[in-house]
Structure 1
Amino acid sequence: MYYSWLDRWDERRARRGEEGKETTGFILDADRAFPSEKIKSVGEFCARADQAATDLTFFDVPHGDDEGFETKDHWVTFQSDVPTDVAENNIVWAKVTGSASFDRALVIFHHWNARARNPQIASFFSKRGITVFEIAMPYHFERSRPGSAHADYMLSTNLGRTIESVRQAVCDGRKLIRWLRSEGYQEISVLGMSLGSWVAGLIAAHDANVAKASLFLAGGSLADMVWTGRATRSIRESLEAELELTDLRRAWGPLNLENHVFRLARPDLDLQFILAKRDKVVLPKLSEGLIRGLRGAGGQPQVLKMNCGHYSLGKLPYIIFAGLKAREFLS
């Protein structure tokens, strides 16, 4: 009875999340993913993405100015090194919740279409000696596209822009982490939620400055998440008229965490997964596939599975158990 109610609650929450989302047309927009390259078909895009998925430098931080950081009133702002055609999106904002210690920092990456940061989570960790930086991912919060009802440029039917946006999020996070290291933080961790866990995972895979990564509601293939997930039905409706899932997997191969398991399994990185057994947004099989891949690559991730849904993970008592487990891991 209780779990039937919980499933219905998650479904109602998912329906509310659909408000403002519109079905849009499929766009290749290859130049956003692979600038200055002449790619005109889905097949050519997939072939180029296959190369990028194994390119160890694809998520390297572009050569930019690391001196332009501004700090004021618990905020850090800086220029993104991946410029886009939305001016507001090119300035990165991070909310800072300080602690008594200046040794440890935690960068938090929120979920897709988040409406606000989470001061409760930030306060929870800051009271335990970790300075928290809640970064705004592309097209969210202060970086929102004017007139948009949701972050439709971060994850969409536009194949190239989605790669550009996730790559921008990764590069922005790495730039912040490099600055934190220069500011004297000795241990830097990342925490990602849902789509934010893909970003945090990619950063952890490619940045040796990250010591720990706690990934909430994470999966391997972003393409499969979009194709099967409850929150992305409008995207699938547009995509499936133009390409097969096998094509989408290749096109978004660089964003698939399973393609980066050997880097995520490096011995100096501690990994934690907090998952929902009743998840309809990131299906459990997508999480299990990633964890199997990590273990096959020699990784030993810590895994907590709770009998709740994607959205109800944020409800009591589940969020308490998740928070305590994350605190234990990060501390």
Structure 2
Amino acid sequence: SSNLGRTIQSVRQAVWDGRKLIRWLKREGYREVSVLGMSLGSWVAGLIAAHDPAVSKASLFLTAGSLADMVWTGRATRSIRLSLEPLIELTDLRKAWGPLNLENYAHNLARSDLELHLVLATRDKVVLPDLSKRLIQKLKDAGARPSVLELNCGHYSLAMPPYILLSGLSLKRFLSCADKSPRRI
């Protein structure tokens, strides 16, 4: 949303709800908890994983570090940028949405008891691949060893065969074993 505070508030509420659900699952006897998010949901899942030590695996589809940069450069968020641009510059938006920037939590996401899986679309016009790669580099610099699947598709075409099948198989492997080796397809 072009309402900066509302965006922070809604993502904060989503993270809070996710963490409450995890506490409930733990009380119900679940030992391992994994989170998955796609696109904007990947920011929510990433923030949950960064702040909740009960999360053992996080899979982030079509994500990047800076939500501000994604909104500023993405094709699908052009209308948000156009409404923000007369009022705020990108550097100020990065500061305002700093709490939503996964790069700021790279060390939290690099903790030894958290496994990370990222799926990127190399022709994504919503979450530009360079933004995703910047997050991956920040994670690696912090000591994380994420499993990364890069698919030659766009943001929305990830939902179509064969890409959805390849990403689903990658997710299945990630959740069923400790495979941390990078893949490129």
Tell me the TM-score normalized by structure 2.
0.94
Which of 68, 81, 84 lines up with 1:239 in the alignment? 84
What SS does the aligned partner of 2:145 have? coil
Deviations 1:208-255 (A, max 9, x none): 100000100010000000011111111001000111101100000010
Which of 69, 74, 77 lines up with 1:229 in the alignment? 74
Letter in 1 for 2:45: A
Which of 1, 9, 27 lines up with 1:182 in the alignment? 27
Q: Does 1:303 pair with 2:151?
A: no
Give the C-alpha shift of residue 260 in structure 1: 0.3
Instruction: Calculate the aligned-residue CA RMSD, in Å.
Output: 0.5
Deviations 1:42-85 (A, max 9, x none): xxxxxxxxxxxxxxxxxxxxxxxxxxxxxxxxxxxxxxxxxxxx
Provide runs of 4+ in structure 1 moved above 3 Å.
none
Which of 94, 97, 110 lines up with 1:265 in the alignment? 110
Larger radius of gyration: 1
Specify which structure has the higher proportion of helix: 2
Tell me the distance in 2 between the aligned counterparts of 1:203 and 1:234.
28
Identity, in percent, stands at 72
Letter in 2 for 1:230: R
Which of 125, 145, 154 lines up with 1:280 in the alignment? 125
What SS does the aligned partner of 1:231 have? coil
Tell me the distance in 2 between the aligned counterparts of 1:313 and 1:185.
31
Tell me the distance in 2 between the aligned counterparts of 1:286 and 1:167.
22
Listed as ranges, the matches of 1:15-164 within 5 Å are: 156-164=1-9
Q: Which residue of 1 aligns with 2:98?
A: 253
Q: Which residue of 2 aligns with 1:289?
A: 134
Q: Which residue of 2 aligns with 1:198?
A: 43
